[in-house]
Chain A
């Protein structure tokens, strides 16, 4: 028996070696293995920020976990080669695909961002925007950051498609950024989604210094007139009008705007409460899980650990800052032509970047810092929701030029 055991020692050694090679630990010593370790560190950092500091936890937690899964060597949950060249390789898909590859199809085919918009629409009150349609202008001004960053990204060597995807970070709208990037430059999806959601979480840090620098104390203390009440019929007509106008002018923005407005119509019409609650809660939560996981999965070491990612992070914050400044400056400009009783507090201009409702809350807090009796929240919600429409319009325009 001893002889038979010792004669097979070669076989045992080979088997153990083979097993060791098949483990994920061996993957860390392979090419780009160090990158996986770094990415796992990044995933843990994002998890820490989401759990400890509550930075957009709903999305950042799932994105970070997706990032962790995709960077564990040997897990084979996500394969970049199945989506190489910007399209799905159906011929090898079933044979090679892992769980996250299947889920990623929802991003690739532009389904998740639209479903998220359905839920966002059902949760959004467009009343302040209907009562004060001038807010649309502030929402438009805050999109300036997108186009300036578009040029900036091109200047440092990104292609026009990549530059557009980076610029859209300035719209501060996660689903729109993911939608546009998944079509124009899917290779940048991971870094762009992480940048977009991180900066949205950092709105209370990024925006106030810019708002204070561009306004005087007197301007920050402006009290705005109470908004008029909005009737139910107006609330029902609003999503229908917006859908028809945007779809006719910008067909490429219809999937996003159409879903946003369908969700809002469900909420406002009052006859489909069950559907409205489902899209606000169950559907939204399910899609958030899928979207976060799969977007995180695209952040592989090869895609993330390069100077392009650093460039995206820097350009993203510039886009965000410029958008904030654009909204504030347009509000100041509008005040030059407004009567005293119709003056706009420029602080609400910064809410024109979407980031609903965080940006509106920042306007409220900054306004109260100057004048504790000043309630700007409802006024800021107008530009805030106009920013959602504005960034979807901007994405549609970029798609029509570059798509």
Chain B
């Protein structure tokens, strides 16, 4: 494509204007739909009776974070006493080690 400088300038100018036109159009459309939804939400809130003690989302998030921080600071309490238990069992041939091993054949 062989274009002159004036053509290039026009294309650049028209292009940037078109980008703005398309996106401004999208702003208007989204604002229009947004207004409808905001009004609907406001109407729905107005219809609902105000509940005493109902918490806002941000308050719930703040309480949850505080609880998480508090609980992560807590540690399980342990007795802090280390013991070694000595286990003694009465002798029995059933648990005897020497009887559990294969005997080497006796050669003369």
Residues of chain A at the chain B interface (Cβ within 8 Å): 129-131, 133-134, 136-137, 139-140, 143-144, 147-148, 150-151, 154, 159-161, 163, 228, 231, 233-234, 237-238, 241-242, 245-246, 249-250, 386, 389-390, 393-394, 397-398, 401-402
Contact = CB atoms under 8 A, between A and B. Distances in A.
Contacts of A161: 1
B37 A231 contact: yes
A345 B38 CA distance: 24
Contacts of B64: none
24 contacts: A130-B30, A133-B27, A133-B30, A137-B20, A140-B19, A140-B24, A143-B16, A143-B19, A147-B12, A147-B13, A148-B12, A150-B11, A151-B8, A233-B37, A238-B30, A241-B30, A245-B29, A246-B22, A389-B23, A390-B23, A393-B23, A397-B18, A401-B15, A402-B1
The prevalent SS among residues of A at the interface is helix
Given A160-B3, A397-B18, A137 B12 contact: no
Nearest to B31: A133
Contacts of A389: 23, 26
B33 interface: yes
Nearest to B38: A228
A234 B31 CA distance: 11
Given A140-B20, A231-B41, A390-B23, A151 B30 contact: no
A393 B14 CA distance: 13
B42 to A, nearest CB: 11
The prevalent SS among residues of B at the interface is helix
Given A130-B34, A151-B8, A137 B1 contact: no
Contacts, number: 88
B67 interface: no
A59 to B, nearest CB: 26
A163 B8 CA distance: 10
* Range class of the B interface residue count: 20 to 34
A147 B29 contact: no
Nearest to A250: B22
Contacts of B33: 234, 237, 241
A133 B34 CA distance: 9
Contacts of B22: 245-246, 249-250, 393
B16 A144 contact: yes
Contact of A390 (B8, B12, B19, B30): B19
Contacts of A397: 15, 18-19
A357 B58 CA distance: 24
B63 interface: no
Contacts of B66: none
Nearest to A131: B34
A151 B25 CA distance: 26
B12 A393 contact: no
A393 B25 CA distance: 13
Given A245-B26, A402-B1, A154 B37 contact: no
Given A234-B34, A397-B18, A137 B27 contact: yes
Contacts of A228: 38
Interface string B40-73: 0100000000000000000000000000000000
Contacts of A398: 15
Name the residue in B12, B26, B37 with the highest tally of chain A Cβ atoms < 10 Å from its Cβ. Answer: B26
A126 B8 CA distance: 34
A344 to B, nearest CB: 14
Given A130-B34, A161-B1, A137 B24 contact: yes
Contact of A137 (B5, B9, B18, B23): B23
B38 to A, nearest CB: 7
A381 to B, nearest CB: 15
A389 B38 CA distance: 24
A101 B15 CA distance: 34
A147 B12 CA distance: 5
Nearest to A126: B30
A250 B41 CA distance: 33
B5 to A, nearest CB: 8
Contact of B11 (A136, A250, A401): A401
Given A143-B19, A151-B8, A397-B19, A242 B37 contact: no
A245 B25 contact: yes
B4 to A, nearest CB: 10
Given A234-B33, A393-B18, A402-B1, 13 more contacts: A133-B26, A136-B23, A139-B23, A147-B12, A147-B13, A150-B15, A160-B11, A242-B26, A245-B26, A245-B29, A250-B22, A397-B15, A398-B15
